[in-house]
Structure 1
């Protein structure tokens, strides 16, 4: 992998979801060995449960091994419970960093799915039927769309772009180290980076309260 990437080492290596067929102890040892070999600097978890992270961390410390330093979870205005509730103790106890993904909830928070599935959108593509069900067709999807409609209304009331607002909101959480952006072109990336300009908008407590009560 290092040869394909044309690098000597990785700054951060994520273990995406705990492998149910591999003991966590073995994973911790493997990550520690990669660090001692100089192939990676740090390792992190991705979509692990708080229980799994806690076990891995305690096993590492108890055996003089390198514990995980980062978690890569989903976090946005519609998906908050795991990050804010389940991981709360993990953040307090281990001070782990995070690289959160899906700040726009797979595009839902743009508002583009409120009138159905637009042609060319990810949910319209073959193989993404699961996303349509999750986003729109299921009862849970309908509930989420109601929240999206309310959210778009809040953004309009404050004359704010919903995309930039949603990304900036993620950065409000003290436990968010990085927000992963899914830009498909340079202009989109540049627009998304302007979300940083929206942080000052959260001085408006009414806005923050409205968003947190979606």
Structure 2
């Protein structure tokens, strides 16, 4: 396994992380479509991942309505010290008016409930799962900082924030002397390169780590899909279109992925993961799997080094056109010759 520094911290995390969204929820839509794994199946994945050097495992309180955290807590109990444990909050966890969001009330309650379910006294990386348009960001940041000072949380992260939302949060943290977000967990794949426009430059400038969720675009880039149909009827993207994918554009990407994969005697999935890992801003990719063969296959991607030619071909077929003001700022003709 290879490791990378998480943002500007001294913490190192594995370049492949294990996602626990597939743990729990058997018989309960939509979680049964994601995985519905029990303790035994989840334990096999977790222990195999740890044995291969993975140290970052990510879940969320909302996954399978808390069952993912419960299962993960049980299966890592004997190996807790080997795990950089990450979870998330903000989604609705009950019927009450304060059972969702990022208020101090909900942050405090949600953290305590996650700690109980995970069977631990601290979370290594606690992440807000989305933007809360109601709660002032200062209230959220102060509540999270209190959790850090109390020893319940070691590092803070944010997920699914726009660049301006994350920039404002970082600015407020600096202004108020509060713990900063050290990582952004964001969707990024060859079929979804939106974050390159504004979020990636912000992360690079502010030295915030990038943890990538759904690097295979919900399985669409796994090698199971092409224009002729689906080779695996159990593939997740046949049941839930998340994240959304432009199929025609993705098929063109898959065509190139197959060509590059053949050069390296690798799989389409490994090649798609290797492309994400090759992007300079990326710290780690989160592999959400249901089966052991999927996990071991994904882990092999960390050793797949794509050539300059490979990367250029994949970039060409997947590149997102620059949006304003990106295209005008990319024009270098106006610059002073000495600049």
TM-score by length of 1: 0.86
Q: As a proportion of its length, which structure holds more helix? A: 1
Query: Where does residue 9 of structure 1 map in the other structure?
Result: 122
Q: Which moved more, 1:109-118 or 1:3-12?
A: 109-118
Q: Is the 8 A contact 2:184 2:208 kept in 1?
A: yes
How far off its partner does 1:36 sit?
1.1
Query: Where does residue 175 of structure 2 map in the other structure?
Result: 62
Q: Is the 8 A contact 2:128 2:159 kept in 1?
A: yes
Query: Where does residue 212 of structure 2 map in the other structure?
Result: 100
- When residues 212 and 143 of structure 1 are mapped into structure 2, their CA distance, relative to the original with a 3 A threshold, is closer
Measure, in 1, the Cα distance between the counterparts of 2:189 and 2:284: 13
Q: Is the 8 A contact 2:203 2:210 kept in 1?
A: no
Alignment pair present for 1:122 and 2:122: no
Q: As a proportion of its length, which structure holds more strand? A: 2
Measure, in 2, the Cα distance between the counterparts of 1:11 and 1:20: 26
How far off its partner does 1:131 sit?
4.4
Q: Is the 8 A contact 2:256 2:313 kept in 1?
A: no
Task: Kindly report which structure 2 residues correspond to 1:134-145, keeping only aligned pairs within 5 A, or say none.
Answer: 134-135=244-245, 140-145=246-251
* 1:72-127 deviations in Å (ceiling 9; x for gaps): 01111111131x221233123310012111111111112322133442222333xx
271, 282, 288: which one aligns with 1:165: 271
| Matched length | 202
Gaps of 5+ in 1: none
- When residues 191 and 39 of structure 1 are mapped into structure 2, their CA distance, relative to the original with a 3 A threshold, is same
Q: Is the 8 A contact 1:9 1:39 kept in 2?
A: yes
- When residues 96 and 141 of structure 1 are mapped into structure 2, their CA distance, relative to the original with a 3 A threshold, is same
Measure, in 2, the Cα distance between the counterparts of 1:9 and 1:78: 36
Measure, in 1, the Cα distance between the counterparts of 2:302 and 2:201: 28
Q: Is the 8 A contact 2:123 2:154 kept in 1?
A: yes
TM-score by length of 2: 0.56
Query: Where does residue 75 of structure 2 map in the other structure?
Result: none
- When residues 131 and 41 of structure 1 are mapped into structure 2, their CA distance, relative to the original with a 3 A threshold, is closer
Q: Is the 8 A contact 2:189 2:215 kept in 1?
A: yes
Q: Is the 8 A contact 2:137 2:169 kept in 1?
A: yes
Measure, in 1, the Cα distance between the counterparts of 2:233 and 2:308: 37
281, 297, 303: which one aligns with 1:191: 297
Alignment pair present for 1:91 and 2:194: no
Measure, in 1, the Cα distance between the counterparts of 2:264 and 2:295: 23
Query: Where does residue 209 of structure 1 map in the other structure?
Result: 312
**RMSD of aligned alpha carbons:** 1.9
Q: Which moved more, 1:6-15 or 1:115-124?
A: 115-124
How far off its partner does 1:165 sit?
1.1
Q: Is the 8 A contact 1:111 1:149 kept in 2?
A: no
Gaps of 5+ in 2: 1-113, 318-339
Alignment pair present for 1:30 and 2:143: yes
- When residues 143 and 60 of structure 1 are mapped into structure 2, their CA distance, relative to the original with a 3 A threshold, is same
- When residues 93 and 157 of structure 1 are mapped into structure 2, their CA distance, relative to the original with a 3 A threshold, is closer
